[in-house]
Amino acid sequence: MEKKDIVIIGAGPAGIFTALELLNSDKNFNIHLFEKGKRIGDRHCPKRRTGNCANCEPCNITTGFSGAGAYSDGKLSLSPFVGGLDNFVQIKKLKNLIDYTYNQYYSFFGAKSKTYGIDNQEEIKNLKKKAIKANLKLIDYPLKHLGTDRAKNVYKNIQNYLLENKINIHFQTKVTDLILENKKIKGVITEKNKKYKCNAAVITVGREGSEWLKKITKQKNISTKVNPVDIGIRLEVRNEVMEKINKILYEGKLIYYTETYDDKVRTFCQNPSGFVSTEYYENRLATVNGHSYKEKKSENTNLALLVSHNFDHPFNQPIEYGKKVAEMGNMLADGKILMQRFGDFIRGRRSTKKRIKRGNIFPTLEDAEPGDLGHAIPYRTMLDLKETIFALDKLIPGIAGDETLLYGIEVKFYSNRIHVNNQFETNIKNLYAGGDGAGLTRGLMHASVNGVLIAQAIKQNLN
């Protein structure tokens, strides 16, 4: 049987698991996986060794094999309701797919990992009751925590497996254009003007590729819908404040609708004993993030507070809006991350190194610049964050303490959501889209499952 040529653009979790599923299910595919960053063993952040950013282009934190996942906290949600695919797949089928995909992860690290969120049901029930009284919604779910260090090893093992099995991975190679004929994908062009023919192509560029994806969808008339943009801060407290949730759930996902504007605010990416970090996007845009290791520990817990911004017609540039807010923060902090005590935040004054040092909490992002987030974050978002932190304090006493640290700006860039059918095929024949960058999923597990589903669709449609 003649081999079919498949092109995958982006080696994040969605792209990786598309390749894995095609490889494991059928040997009649010739697979080309394009990644503008480096192989995982070459992805080193100089700042973590020297304390100074080396302006790597592209950033080794957000690009390279496994995408931002290599430097993430390595959390694998085992819930069908946390990640976005429940909008496309029946729950029973999705649960089976999550189990199937997790088993593949497990085969590449082979070590037992604790499952959070399944024990202590009585304590979880009490937390939910307390959350309800504070008008918060607590979402509990089973979760596996690999840790940043172990996650990198897992993805390195997957990378090597793909290479050993003759998957053509093109590192440091950016796809610049798609070749279409009669609304059907025929190939891609790289930045060196090299052409690759294909029978099917998959776009899984992740959030870092949001600008490229927006450009390509406009040029090629790929149908999209404007997605909201999440803007907020990363909050850091002592472990003692978050002790109960850390122990029982590891990550507590909480949703709050604010009193003044009824805006949705959610907690995201909680990192017990973790570290606040900086990540860079195109044009050296610095945003704040967080992660934690399996072995290396701090005395603090950090988590994101994100306000969803939905815009009405005629505005259709949410990505640019989020970037402008982040750029303001960068400008005020001389290209670094702004940091402010919550006590200063609510009093409308900038923080100083002196006031930060006299508290019980030592910042884990050591080069963050004390300042005033109010000069960068719009008033509405500021008020949303303030109201949410006071609501959280009813569930987690101490989180609204004066010394709590807020870092900004945290922005989650979702490309305009690509319109896909139930097989994740776009309005261009045999062109598929998936993962966080396409606005379809959130998090490692659902992006990985998305890749499995796309591979199954390709196999069905091309054979």
Average pLDDT over residues 330-357: 96
pLDDT-derived band at 53, boundaries 50, 70, 90: confident
> What is d(CA 164, CA 160) in angstroms, rounded to the nearest whole number?
6
Average pLDDT over residues 165-191: 96
Percent of the chain residues topping a pLDDT of 90: 70
Look at residue 433 in the predicted model and tell me its pLDDT. 97
Average pLDDT over residues 301-329: 90
211 and 282 Cβ atoms separated by less than 8 Å: yes
> Would you say residue 72 has pLDDT above 70?
no
> What is d(CA 274, CA 289) in angstroms, rounded to the nearest whole number?
11
Look at residue 206 in the predicted model and tell me its pLDDT. 83
Classify burial at 129, counting beta carbons within 10 Å of its beta carbon; exposed 0-12, middle 13-18, buried 19 or more. exposed
Q: What is the DSSP letter of 371?
A: -
187-212: pLDDT as tens digits: 999 998 999 999 999 999 987 787 89
Look at residue 70 in the predicted model and tell me its pLDDT. 63
> What is d(CA 273, CA 26) in angstroms, rounded to the nearest whole number?
43
237-253: pLDDT as tens digits: 999 999 999 999 998 89
Average pLDDT over residues 139-168: 89
> Would you say residue 305 has pLDDT above 90?
yes
Look at residue 321 in the predicted model and tell me its pLDDT. 92
> What is d(CA 213, CA 304) in angstroms, rounded to the nearest whole number?
25
Q: Nearest-CA neighbor of 235 among 301, 281, 284, 178? A: 301
pLDDT-derived band at 370, boundaries 50, 70, 90: very high
Look at residue 1 in the predicted model and tell me its pLDDT. 60
What single string gives the DSSP state of each residue in 35-96? ESS--GGG---THHHHSS----SS-TTTSSTTGGGGGS--EEE--TTSSSGGGTS-HHHHHH
Q: What is the mean pLDDT of the chain?
A: 91
Query: In this structure, what token pair is assigned to residue 176?
Result: 């610049």
Look at residue 364 in the predicted model and tell me its pLDDT. 97
> What is d(CA 258, CA 116) in angstroms, rounded to the nearest whole number?
29
pTM of the model: 0.86
Cα dihedral across residues 244, 246, 250, 256: positive or negative = positive
57 or 84, which is more confident: 84
Query: In this structure, what token pair is assigned to residue 288?
Result: 């704040």
Element (H, E) at 129: helix 121-133
Cis status, amide bond into 40, omega within 30 of 0: no
Domains and CATH numbers, the chain: 4-115+144-225+415-462 (3.50.50.60), 229-412 (no CATH)
> Would you say residue 448 has pLDDT above 80?
yes
Q: How far is CA 369 from the centre of its chain?
A: 24
> Would you say residue 340 has pLDDT above 70?
yes
Buried b (16+ CB within 10 A) or exposed e, 435-445: bbbbbbbbbbb
Classify burial at 91, counting beta carbons within 10 Å of its beta carbon; exposed 0-12, middle 13-18, buried 19 or more. exposed
Average pLDDT over residues 168-190: 97
> Would you say residue 459 has pLDDT above 80?
yes
